[in-house]
Structure 1
């Protein structure tokens, strides 16, 4: 996981310890270890998180669910030869 301050909190660390979950952080100076995650986080931030002013967690969940469905089913991905992730999954089966 990213070890940036926006992702790591004492509450998360405490919860993980109670659940007997080991957190493994990316090594400082090695951003390539989580390049896919960083790309996804940037996309989420730019495409919907910064676009709305949310009033409740339910609002966030609704927008996130709608965006994720569109991302997986309607939006072609050039890394998948222009297929959506759902189409790519079907071809892999």
Structure 2
């Protein structure tokens, strides 16, 4: 199981989900809950900048990491 302070990233995300989504919405059924949560998750990952990522969205950060890895792989092939 673990304790909350052992899982800081998860606890931080859960707190944001609770404060920014669950506390503001009333779900009439599971389908509505799925839709609202999916919209929130999409916004959290694709629109909202995160200070811990240098004010990039997680999607932008993933794309920049992929680009860096691709450039690194190409440069390594040129060395060989």
TM-score normalised per structure 1: 0.68
Higher helix share: 2
Bigger relative contact order, structure 1 or 2, given CA contacts below 8 A and separation 6+? 1
The answer on 1:64 being equivalent to 2:37 is: yes
Within-5 A mapping of 1:1-80? 25-26=1-2, 30-80=3-53
Query: 1:32 Cα deviation (Å)?
Result: 2.5
Q: What is residue 17 of structure 1 aligned with on the other side? A: none
Paired with 1:43 and 1:59, the residues of 2 have a C-alpha distance of 20
1:90 maps to 2:53: no
Which structure 2 segments of 5+ residues have no match? 67-80
TM-score w.r.t. the length of structure 2 is 0.78
Q: How many residues were matched structurally?
A: 66
- Based on CA coordinates, which of the two structures has the bigger radius of gyration? 2
1:20 corresponds in structure 2 to none
Q: Which moved more, 1:58-67 or 1:32-41?
A: 32-41
